[in-house]
């Protein structure tokens, strides 16, 4: 598997970044995906509380439906090999601190907003909130540790095979259940990212691959809009989405690092914060403000949510306990860094208020 992966990009491709430099395209990929998640959830909640959202945003939400969460999971998988260099105990404790802790904490923080009675429902914690993403990431990292001797490319292929085989085995999708189909579906993107990291770390995706990938992704997005659902085609769904993610990476690697690009990169470097903060803010705004439907309200809402997310990032040095379980005094100062590998990015079902038409799309 490794030799095939390492030859997947032409040798003439230019380096993605100088040796030792931060790969800012990863931040850009995460930052863009997180903003699409925020835009999607804002559209859904606005439709619930204030009436129809702008039609353009509905089209954007449906068209990007197949790609948002896979892009976040692919980006997380890119960091797997680096994480696995740590001793197993340190690796697991780090993932528990930066993934399991915020999963539990933010699932609990949503209870006063959406109803404390949900605490008695096991699926609320496993599959009913947007935090499902963090639990899935922890399990993918656990599999990565246990199967570290198996190339991640084979793990990605096994995920594709498992997801494809489920309907053939009579295991139907249950949107109100544990959704093992969703877990398998997204695993393919996480392990594909782990398989591709060495190539993408040293090679820029050439325009000759980027442009066709974007054309294919645009066609798949149009198909999703037509269906008003995430296309559910065995094997093809995951392959086409991976092609689309590759196209997005190519764009991210080629974009000039002008002001707005650097701003999205900064959001991506801290993506765990806006991912966790945005939905409570959206829900509270929708429930406690009375605004007319349409573009002015949508743009104002998006601006407010992003501004609060930016403020939350700024406050992260003193609120790191919201995103990473605090270390003892000996480990102080490492808390914020510990969450970088958890950067999202989004269940095996959609959150209660944000699940309208997405198939195995998590909350994303």
Token representation of residue 209: 């691959």
Which of 118-122, 216-220, 291-295 has the highest average model confidence (pLDDT)? 216-220
Which of 7-21, 41-55, 260-274 has the highest average model confidence (pLDDT)? 260-274
Nearest to 313 by CA among 29, 31, 26: 31
- Supply the DSSP string of 274-295, one letter for each residue: HHHHHHHHHHHHHHH----SSH
| Averaged pLDDT score across all residues of the chain | 85
At 172 the pLDDT is: 63
On the question of pLDDT at 160 being above 90, the answer is yes
At 292 the pLDDT is: 76
Asked whether the beta carbons of 209 and 246 are under 8 A apart, the reply is: yes
Asked whether the beta carbons of 286 and 46 are under 8 A apart, the reply is: yes
Q: What is the mean pLDDT of residues 246-271?
A: 96
Confidence of residue 176 (pLDDT cuts 50, 70, 90): low
On the question of pLDDT at 140 being above 50, the answer is yes
At 222 the pLDDT is: 97
Q: Return the higher-pLDDT residue of 304 and 359.
A: 304
CB atoms within 10 A of CB 351: 25
Confidence of residue 216 (pLDDT cuts 50, 70, 90): very high
Confidence of residue 71 (pLDDT cuts 50, 70, 90): very high
Q: Return the higher-pLDDT residue of 170 and 199.
A: 199
Confidence of residue 290 (pLDDT cuts 50, 70, 90): confident
Q: Return the higher-pLDDT residue of 201 and 338.
A: 201
Q: What are phi and psi of 218, to 5 degrees?
A: -65, -40
Percentage of the residues of the chain whose pLDDT score is greater than 70:
82
The 8 Å CB, 24+ separation contacts for 214-219 are 214/244, 214/247, 214/250, 214/251, 216/240, 216/243, 216/244, 216/247, 217/67, 217/241, 217/243, 217/244, 217/247, 217/248
On the question of pLDDT at 241 being above 50, the answer is yes
On the question of pLDDT at 332 being above 80, the answer is no
On the question of pLDDT at 341 being above 90, the answer is no
Q: Where would I find the H helices in the chain?
A: 2-6, 24-49, 55-63, 68-77, 80-83, 88-95, 101-109, 111-114, 122-123, 132-146, 152-168, 180-202, 207-227, 236-254, 259-269, 272-288, 295-314, 316-319, 335-338
At 121 the pLDDT is: 87
At 138 the pLDDT is: 97
* Exposed/middle/buried for residue 118 (C-beta within 10 Å: 0-12, 13-18, 19+): middle
On the question of pLDDT at 13 being above 90, the answer is no
Token representation of residue 349: 């079902």
Q: Return the higher-pLDDT residue of 214 and 346.
A: 214
On the question of pLDDT at 351 being above 50, the answer is no
On the question of pLDDT at 6 being above 50, the answer is no
Percentage of the residues of the chain whose pLDDT score is greater than 90:
65
Domain boundary assignment for the chain: 2-342
Q: Is 55 helix (H, G, I), strand (E, B) or coil?
A: helix
CA angle 242, 310, 190 (to 5 degrees): 20
At 340 the pLDDT is: 43
At 291 the pLDDT is: 73
Asked whether the beta carbons of 302 and 38 are under 8 A apart, the reply is: yes
Q: Return the higher-pLDDT residue of 228 and 73.
A: 73
At 333 the pLDDT is: 44
Q: What is the mean pLDDT of residues 134-149?
A: 96
Nearest to 271 by CA among 306, 318, 238: 306
Asked whether the beta carbons of 364 and 69 are under 8 A apart, the reply is: yes
**Token pair 């790969």 in the structure block, residue:** 23
Task: Quote the CA–CA distance of 299 and 211 in Å, as a whole number.
Answer: 30
Confidence of residue 21 (pLDDT cuts 50, 70, 90): low
On the question of pLDDT at 352 being above 60, the answer is no
Q: What is the mean pLDDT of residues 214-224?
A: 97
Token representation of residue 94: 């780090």
pTM: 0.85
């Amino acid at each position: 598997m490794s030799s095939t992966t390492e030859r997947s990009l032409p040798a003439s491709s230019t380096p993605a970044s100088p040796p030792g430099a931060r790969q800012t395209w990863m931040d850009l990929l995460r930052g863009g995906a997180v903003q699409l998640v925020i835009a999607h959830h804002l559209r859904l909640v606005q439709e619930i509380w204030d009436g129809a959202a702008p039609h353009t945003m509905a089209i954007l939400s449906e068209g990007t439906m197949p790609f948002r969460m896979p892009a976040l999971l692919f980006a997380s998988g890119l960091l797997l090999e680096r994480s696995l260099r740590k001793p197993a105990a340190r690796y697991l404790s780090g993932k528990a601190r930066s993934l399991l802790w915020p999963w539990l904490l933010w699932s609990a923080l949503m209870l006063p907003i959406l109803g404390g009675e949900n605490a008695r429902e096991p699926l609320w914690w496993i599959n009913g909130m947007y935090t499902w993403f963090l639990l899935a990431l922890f399990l993918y990292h656990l599999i990565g540790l246990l199967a570290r001797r198996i190339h991640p490319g084979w793990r990605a292929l096994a995920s594709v095979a498992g997801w494809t085989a489920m309907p053939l085995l009579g295991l139907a999708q249950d949107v109100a259940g544990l959704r093992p189909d969703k877990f398998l579906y997204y695993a393919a993107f996480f392990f594909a990212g782990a398989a591709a990291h060495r190539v993408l770390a040293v090679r820029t995706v050439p325009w000759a691959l980027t442009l066709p990938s974007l054309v294919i992704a645009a066609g798949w997005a149009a198909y999703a809009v037509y269906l008003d659902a995430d296309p559910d085609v065995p094997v093809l769904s995951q392959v086409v989405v991976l092609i689309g993610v590759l196209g997005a990476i190519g764009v991210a690697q080629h974009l000039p690092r002008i002001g707005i690009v650097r701003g999205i990169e900064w959001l991506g470097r801290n993506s765990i914060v806006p991912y966790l903060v945005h939905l409570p803010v959206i829900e509270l705004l929708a429930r406690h403000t009375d605004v007319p439907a349409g573009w002015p309200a949508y743009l104002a809402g998006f601006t407010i949510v992003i501004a609060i997310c930016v403020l939350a990032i700024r406050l992260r040095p003193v609120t790191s306990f919201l995103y990473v379980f605090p270390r003892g005094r000996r480990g102080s100062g490492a808390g914020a860094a510990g969450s970088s590998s958890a950067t999202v990015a989004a269940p095996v079902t959609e959150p209660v208020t944000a699940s309208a038409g997405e198939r195995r799309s998590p909350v994303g």
